Chains A and B, each alone.
Chain A
């Protein structure tokens, strides 16, 4: 069964460093999402992406964040200058279109020291 994959599974970085989280969505999907889950809190929407542009973003998704689909398979989330409060589990999701059904990857745990 096709699935969304994410790398790395765990990323540790120093405050102020840039990180890139990578996702490979399901191959025929057209809609891509990033969510995050701070430890002990709810899963929160960050951004959705369709047709090579952002279609929706939350207040969390400020100028330090960016997304890109650099090729036909990867979908990346870049955090330019990480802060301690960016420590969270980051989930990528993808959807085929039509009814809104999102398939989630296993997540990347980001730890900012």
Chain B
């Protein structure tokens, strides 16, 4: 069955500290992986995506993620968190072909303390 697991429901970090949000997936075909961010009252904004090639992908706002096939993981990282990064983060997996649904994780809520 296709699924995405985000083990951390809520993470709190200090501003300036590093961040890693975990994502594990189960997918029957070649996975295409995404991280979205949702600020309060806002929609889902794409942070970054992995389709193929270099397993370390760079995204917007200084985020990066690393695809590890052997661990079925696609963890999101940021070296130095800013207060504006406080939001809900969702990992998603989909198939290659457009028209196929995305499977989302339950999300990780990030709080940034001064």
Contact = CB atoms under 8 A, between A and B. Distances in A.
Given A44-B104, A99-B51, A104 B36 contact: yes
A95 B98 contact: yes
Interface string A85-113: 00000010001111111111111000000
Given A41-B106, A42-B105, A42-B106, A100 B46 contact: no
Given A99-B32, A106-B43, A42 B107 contact: yes
A55 interface: yes
A48 B99 contact: yes
What class of interface size applies to chain B in its complex with A? 20 to 34
B106 A31 contact: no
Contacts of A101: 46, 49, 98
Given A41-B106, A42-B106, A100-B96, A58 B46 contact: no
B27 interface: no
Contacts of B49: 101
Contacts of B46: 101, 103-104
A65 interface: no
Interface in B77-114: 90, 92, 94-107
A30 B98 CA distance: 9
Interface of A: 4, 6, 30-31, 33, 35, 41-45, 48, 50, 55-56, 58, 91, 95-107
Closest 6 CB pairs of A and B: A106-B43, A45-B101, A104-B44, A43-B104, A42-B106, A95-B98
